[in-house]
Amino acid sequence: MNERNILYDEMCRVLTDYEGNGSEGGASAADLYDVLVKIQNRWDDSLTDIISDKKSRGVLTDWLTGTGSLEFQAKGYHNTLIRVRKNADFDYLYIQRQYKEKSIIRDDNFDYAGVYCKRDGVVYDGHSGIGDLFDEADSHAERDAAVLLKQLETYVRKAVEAAIGNNRDNLQITELSSERELSSMERFQQYTAAEQARKAYLNKGEDEEDDFEFTYRCNYHPERWTEDSFLTYILDPEGYVSAEAKAYIDSHQEAILSDFLESDWVAAAYKAIIENPANPVHRVKRIMRAVSASSAKTVTVTIRKDGIEFTFKAEASQFRSDCTHSYNDWHIAGADRKEFKRIFKQSSDYKPENILRIEYARSALYEEDAAVSEVIDNEM
């Protein structure tokens, strides 16, 4: 809290106490006098700052159409803003802030404050030192350099995706040739395709068709702004986006084709899941749907493992997401976890196919045929 706020809080407290002066603990005239003296001593530095801050709001637009420097008070500082010509289209803005002095001083730095585009009369990348100078309705934060870089990324990705149209026939190549992409494709087929198919299957909504759908998504990431690229984008964002999208497509033909080819492997793995009802992932999905439909924080779980049936309390959260292979005992209630380890010889997990029932509030959320579970258990 700055000194001005402290003084304001003290004044409010004294005035409140003074109103109840007849009661115990009420402020005296001397207390009120002391606060008035403090206000008098701080008049120039505090109250005039408030007035100057309000007056500075919105003056930037008027100053940019003129010449010379701009001096203003803000947050207890005296600020001097100057503009330096970059070229016919742009001026750079620089600011010097002084706490004690009332003007610029020799042998002190000016800090970068923004870019003024003379074509549209707008300040870009305006730094915090001039934030109070913009009109209240001016969304200047949206013209920050970092925000514009993210905007560029979004626009180029959309342009590339529109050009490809989710159709590999729009590429100039039909097969991979680089060793790098071929090696990457082989690793994807071996280690990743099945995992992505499993994830896609588990995320598929109950009312959606049970097939794998691929939509190409561009992975363009722009380079950090250089001085020239930033100014070029400001002057012609549409042209810059178009040029970046074309350059990306031309230089990423094999990478884009790889995305389509990888989707073929995922689609094949997805089909294998659908065609194999004995795949444990089907149980995982049924468990996830059943528990997600309830508000339970703790559930009662009954499993059959190693021919032994065991019931325990467990956190419901782990059953709302993919167990990938098995559920661990971390989520089992303390006393039950100790008994679990005793029975199953320190084994720390159980699999979806071991689960017979999951109950909440005396109702079954999930239940499998016990006979089927026992057969699967005996085959493991």
pLDDT recorded at residue 118? 95
Q: Encoding tokens for residue 359?
A: 């109950």
E-only strand ranges, 306-376: 308-315, 327-328, 349-350, 355-360, 363-367
Task: Report the DSSP beta bridge partners of residue 312.
Answer: 301
Instruction: Report the alpha-carbon distance of residue 99 to residue 145 in Å, rounded.
Output: 28
> What is the CB-side half-sphere exposure of residue 15 using CA atoms within 13 A?
7
- The alpha carbon torsion through 354, 359, 363, 366 (nearest 10 deg) reads -40
DSSP 142: G
* DSSP 3-state of 206: coil
pLDDT recorded at residue 18? 66
Q: Encoding tokens for residue 179?
A: 């060793």
Mean per-residue pLDDT pooled into runs of 10, the chain (380 residues): 58 67 62 70 48 58 85 84 95 90 83 95 90 86 96 98 97 96 95 96 84 95 97 98 98 97 97 94 96 96 95 97 93 94 86 96 86 48
Instruction: Note the maximum CA span of the chain.
Output: 93
Q: Encoding tokens for residue 105?
A: 């001083």
Number of other CB atoms surrounding residue 102 within 10 Å = 10
* pTM for this entry: 0.74
Q: Encoding tokens for residue 159?
A: 């342009």
Q: Encoding tokens for residue 40?
A: 């008098």
277-316: burial string, b at 16+ Cβ within 10 Å, e else = eeebbbbbbebbebbeebebeebbbbbbbeeeebebebeb
Expressed in percent and rounded to 5, the helix, strand and coil fractions of the chain are 50, 15, 30
pLDDT recorded at residue 375? 47
DSSP-assigned states of every residue in 241-252: HHHHHHHHHHH-
Residue 302 CA: distances (Å) to CA of 295, 311, 344, 380: 19, 4, 14, 18
pLDDT recorded at residue 128? 73
- Residue 161: is it exposed, middle or buried by C-beta count within 10 angstroms (0-12/13-18/19+)? middle
310: Cβ contacts below 8 Å, ≥ 6 apart: 302, 303, 304, 339, 340, 343, 344
pLDDT recorded at residue 208? 78
